[in-house]
């Protein structure tokens, strides 16, 4: 049966995990959403810091191939997937979610880096 309304944020849970060792993260959906919102703010701050590093990396690249850096991309995807796999005990699809997110992030950062590349000039000695 499907409900036509959003769940209440101040109500008690209506389901439980069968795993007796499961540890709830909050008492209400509202509390969980507050925690998620706080985590999102931290994630955005970290992404903004990463973006500044990506922008600065533009200074070290000579052309579009170096901007795309396919070997670096593959290494990043492998590294974050491995990091996520180490945390996947309670959320088994975490490596897939993290890798997919990073593929989108890296594509967006490369697009931004291409724009910044056009704002640079070669250093002549």
pLDDT tens track for 46-78: 999 999 999 999 999 999 999 999 999 999 999
Cβ neighbours of residue 30 under 8 Å, at least 6 residues apart? 9, 10
Asked if 77 contacts 107 with a C-beta cutoff of 8 angstroms, the reply is: no
pLDDT tens track for 84-116: 999 999 999 999 999 999 999 999 999 999 999
At 34 the pLDDT is 98
pLDDT tens track for 13-38: 999 999 999 999 999 999 999 999 99
> Which residue segments constitute the domains of the chain, with CATH numbers given?
29-117 (1.20.59.10)
In the predicted structure, residue 1 carries a pLDDT above the cut 80: no
Q: What is the pTM of this model?
A: 0.89
Q: What is the mean pLDDT of the chain?
A: 96
Asked if 53 contacts 105 with a C-beta cutoff of 8 angstroms, the reply is: no
């Amino acid at each position: 049966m499907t409900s036509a309304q959003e769940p209440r944020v101040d109500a008690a849970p209506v389901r439980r995990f069968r795993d007796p060792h499961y540890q709830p993260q909050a008492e209400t959906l509202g509390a969980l959403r507050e925690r998620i919102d706080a985590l999102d703010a931290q994630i955005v701050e970290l992404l903004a810091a990463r973006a500044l590093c990506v922008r600065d990396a533009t200074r070290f690249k000579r052309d579009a191939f170096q901007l795309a850096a396919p070997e670096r991309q593959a290494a990043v995807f492998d590294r974050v997937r491995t990091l996520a796999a180490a945390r996947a005990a309670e959320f088994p699809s975490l490596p897939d979610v993290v890798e997919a997110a990073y593929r989108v992030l890296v594509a967006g950062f490369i697009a931004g880096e291409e724009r910044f590349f056009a704002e640079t000039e070669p250093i002549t000695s």
